Structure 1
């Protein structure tokens, strides 16, 4: 019995680790979260300071009597200093990057650390390997498990090479060298690997708390934290923001006649078609059983076509269960007086759109009712 329990736990652990390694990593969600969350700015500041400090270490090493002062070594350190200034400044003035940006920074940090080790005195090289732990924490928070494992393999290989070189140069006893290498590996590999596993679980929970489990769209909480960029776009000349409340007409009869499973299929189908129609213009959420809310920004000339095109985009003669929708649209143009008033413009537009949607339903459904604010 005990052996079966132990085997079951081992199998569960193995499944968890496999799931961790192969789990798709949502770089877009991570970038969106950093841009929309208040912690995004401080995080970029910390990354910028860390990058500047990397260049500062290269400058300080030039004044060490033990360091390599050959012209190629000095030239390479100068390159490291300049690149750290450029990259650190980019963290300060640029928005948080997507997948290519964070991967490029991770590779840059790894190669820069390795090159610094190559130029360090043998006695300092093993201690300098701890810099891989700092780089590893970047991989923990912003890159996939597979990239983290690649980083750990690279870092471990470099540490092994440095350990052999240190052992040969210092003629230290083997036990002391193994002890120091073990401590460095625990810091460089053990902490990031454990942290990534924990962060993956926590971030997945956080991500799920912002998403509707049936459709994969944002929920109300996720929508509230994702709309700031859309409202900012609306203030640009000749643009506008529209809040769209969309509700499936007579949805209860769908559940009553076809069953809840078919009702869920309808909800998912409408979500997919709505996302396809309005997704590139803003954000979309499922805010109730059969209710959706979109906040979109586009040009003044295009907004009417986008709104009225929703009903057509949701229809397909091949649908097993044909449904219609009622749409309420509250439009705020860039020159609206609301922008300069001390009001929560998003909340007000949402309430108006919701009221207009109920007005459309009361008039028989399958229609759009809109208003300018």
Structure 2
């Protein structure tokens, strides 16, 4: 079990992964509305306690319950009218939900009943188990176990009941608080890890073509600023057969790994990098139009390092589409890559070791003649090989 937890702790966490999957399958909005409905149900349950003899009796207790109900109603409305929350908003939701539930339980006049009703924390725990990382889950579990322990102490002092039974209840609740979300999160994280691996190129560690589509098309619910353009850069290593002939296939694999790593470093999280097949890589990103040319030129030039055992160069083609026209579906991604691929082959036919751009958005909105990169072509050790 400890090995399982240790592996779980090392797995990558991508908050957007599950919402993106749900969005692609039409589940995100129904889930969002359902969560709002669950919150409202708990608000109604709190209001019904006013009709019960064990409900809030004093002014302070009534104020606590009303505060919890108003807060819960606001949260429910936000779930209905707002898009799926960001990571920070999700964490804030969990914190607010835990506090509102605790306030509502403190207002219940019968302390042992309030202690029993602390099972309501489980609803929030299930949300944590599905959508938040291990750290957030453990913080939630620690907070809810502590809150239940406080309610248990209040219950023990408020009655002559069986203290041993209250302790047993706390142990059962603590077990549920820990293991129900944990048993949800562990397999989900492993499924996500498997999904990440299936989307990765095993040789270079960058995404494969399938992973590129998943990442780019999967963030369709995220807004792109109006001044951005979406660029697709296709990079094909020049004369790679000669690299394999010089270094052997193992050496060729090392070259591909180095190129993949350089592309990851130079993009530094602002672009999606994938190996499209063979010695061909793709880079897709939404960037401000004003830095479009410089950003992608830097990516193209990162391929060549003069101190490599066999320095490689690349023929690259760059295509783009305005942010307001880009729908981020599979057809848009494929169209951009096809256009960039055609431009890349034009660069290769012109001798390679160059970046060609069909037109440059910062200069003009329409098509312009192919633009060669400003870098001086690099002479390769294998240029004279027949």
After TM superposition, give the deviation of residue 122 of structure 1 in Å. Answer: 2.1
Show the counterpart of 1:284. 273
Instruction: Name which of structure 1's ranges 265-274 and 167-176 shifts more when overlaid on structure 2.
Output: 167-176
Distance, in Å, in 2 between the alignment partners of 1:43 and 1:263 is 48
Show the counterpart of 2:123. 134
Deviations 1:166-188 (A, max 9, x none): 45655445676566556544543
After TM superposition, give the deviation of residue 324 of structure 1 in Å. Answer: 0.9
After TM superposition, give the deviation of residue 115 of structure 1 in Å. Answer: 2.7
CA 182–31 in structure 1, closer or farther in 2 if over 3 Å, else same: same
Unpaired segments of 5 or more residues in structure 1? 1-12
Show the counterpart of 1:55. 43
Conserved? CA contact 1:283–1:295, under 8 Å: yes
Matches within 5 A, 1:1-150: 13-20=1-8, 22-23=9-10, 25-26=12-13, 29-31=14-16, 33-35=18-20, 37-38=23-24, 39-91=27-79, 92-98=81-87, 100-120=88-108, 121-150=110-139
Distance, in Å, in 2 between the alignment partners of 1:145 and 1:186 is 17
After TM superposition, give the deviation of residue 132 of structure 1 in Å. Answer: 1.8
After TM superposition, give the deviation of residue 352 of structure 1 in Å. Answer: 2.3
Conserved? CA contact 1:245–1:291, under 8 Å: yes
Distance, in Å, in 2 between the alignment partners of 1:184 and 1:221 is 43
1:315 aligns to 2:283 (yes or no): no
Show the counterpart of 1:366. 353
Higher helix share: 1
Unpaired segments of 5 or more residues in structure 2? 360-366, 368-386
Distance, in Å, in 2 between the alignment partners of 1:233 and 1:151 is 28
After TM superposition, give the deviation of residue 203 of structure 1 in Å. Answer: 2.0
TM-score (norm 2): 0.76
TM-score (norm 1): 0.78
Counterpart secondary structure, 1:297:
strand
Conserved? CA contact 1:117–1:128, under 8 Å: yes
Show the counterpart of 1:305. 294
Counterpart secondary structure, 2:321:
strand
Distance, in Å, in 2 between the alignment partners of 1:42 and 1:25 is 27
RMSD: 3.6
CA 45–266 in structure 1, closer or farther in 2 if over 3 Å, else same: farther
Conserved? CA contact 2:11–2:190, under 8 Å: no
Tell me the matched-pair count.
353
Show the counterpart of 2:184. 195
Deviations 1:239-270 (A, max 9, x none): 43222211222234334433455434433332
Matches within 5 A, 1:142-221: 142-163=131-152, 165-166=154-155, 169=158, 171-173=160-162, 177=166, 180-181=169-170, 184-221=173-210
Distance, in Å, in 2 between the alignment partners of 1:138 and 1:269 is 40
Counterpart secondary structure, 1:314:
coil
